[in-house]
A = this chain, B = another copy of it.
Amino acid sequence: MNKKIAVGILGATGMVGQHYLRLLENHPWFEVTYLAASSHSAGLKYRDALKQGWHASGDMPAAQADRLVHDVADIKAARNQCAFVFSAFDMPDKDAVRAAENEYAQHMPVFSNASAHRSSPDVPMIIAEINPGHLSIIPQQQQKREWKGFIVVKPNCSLQSYLTPLYALMKAGYAIDRVAVTTLQAVSGAGYPGVPTLDMIDNVVPFISGEEEKTECEPLKILGDLVDESFVPYEGIRISAHCNRVPVTDGHLANVMIGFKDKKPSRDDIISIWKSFSAEPQTLDLPMAPRQAIIYLDQANRPQPKRDRDSDKGMAVSVGRLRPCPLLDYKFSALSHNTVRGAAGGGILNAELAFKKMPHAFA
């Protein structure tokens, strides 16, 4: 590849936007050339538009600090400056986000972290190791919506830790029909300023608004089939979730109980399936892909957010404590980095996947 593809970030000043800038700083294929945010930030240098500071790890990429931030409404500038965009909007108004993403999709591909389009039946919600084939809806999406570009979304961060391990077993022929999951989620999932310190010192909170609904429903679309130009949710699994906020900066932990529909693998089978699990991101050797998508840890007290979230540049899922469940069949713990694998890193991996599989769509 001679020249890098020019990329824009919508919502570049927010926390997820910052993570995109950080993770793309030395990307071999993509180069950030366009930054957009709300009209308040338009016309400012990126460093000055960060009113609440830089909150991704490391330092602000020097190459971006002096770049002028555009108004997200300024599609013309985007068309001149980049080939596709990542949408990292953190506005609560989902209708406004959806409208803005649609505007961009008329002209170029949009890879979105936002929840606005997750339930749109013609928009694929991709975890690159699970349902890369869902990208095949893109031509239909483009035709029906009369877009030159398209929209691909990624799911909520709360399910990134446990859905890939479940899928690996299902793909190996062991249908899972019942899942009870309790998450212990990091505060970075709420952005910045996000969760007040007074709620998190000497405390945990057994509630995150809207999160349980997402973690119970979004997997069904990801595991679903593409039928007649839209995704039909998978009906073979029932998920019940309880989501807690805990005083951890990054890394969502999930305690999972699973029940198999009929055939039940042995403990060794499961660990073996996880350790050998490989999918398109690994086969295609995508830059952001973890070499090993699922890492099984033997130590009795792992995975832990602080120790395991950064495994394989924050893109691997760490799993441990697989043991029989007195109620369902097995139980285990799983962990993923919520702002990397669960947000910007997952979005980049989706773009890499699409770019590799359908380069023509980026022309």
How many of A's residues come within 8 Å of B, CB to CB? Answer: 56
Instruction: Indicate if the CB atoms of A244 and B184 lie closer than 8 Å.
Output: yes
Q: In the complex, what distance in Å separates the CA atom of A304 from the CA atom of B205?
A: 6
Q: Which A292-327 residues have C-beta < 8 A from chain B? A: 299-307, 320-321, 325-327
Instruction: Indicate if the CB atoms of A207 and B321 lie closer than 8 Å.
Output: yes
Nearest B residue (CB) for A15: B198
Nearest B residue (CB) for A326: B240
Among B202, B301, B307, the residue within 8 A (CB) of A207 is B301
Fill in one digit per residue for A13-50: 1 if any B CB lies within 8 Å of its CB, else 0.
00000000000000000000000000000000000000
Stretch at the interface among A117-125, A247-255, A272-280: A247-255
CB distance from A355 to the nearest CB of B (A): 31
Also in contact, A327 and B180, with CB within 8 A (given A201-B200, A304-B205, A304-B206): yes
Copies of this chain assembled into the complex: 4
Known contacts A206-B333, A246-B247; 20 additional CB pairs below 8 A are A184-B184, A184-B204, A192-B196, A192-B198, A194-B196, A194-B198, A196-B197, A199-B304, A202-B249, A204-B248, A204-B253, A204-B304, A204-B305, A205-B301, A206-B253, A206-B255, A206-B303, A207-B300, A207-B301, A239-B326
Q: List 12 A-B contacts (CB under 8 A).
A: A182-B242, A194-B198, A195-B196, A197-B199, A198-B249, A201-B249, A202-B247, A206-B255, A206-B303, A207-B300, A207-B301, A240-B257
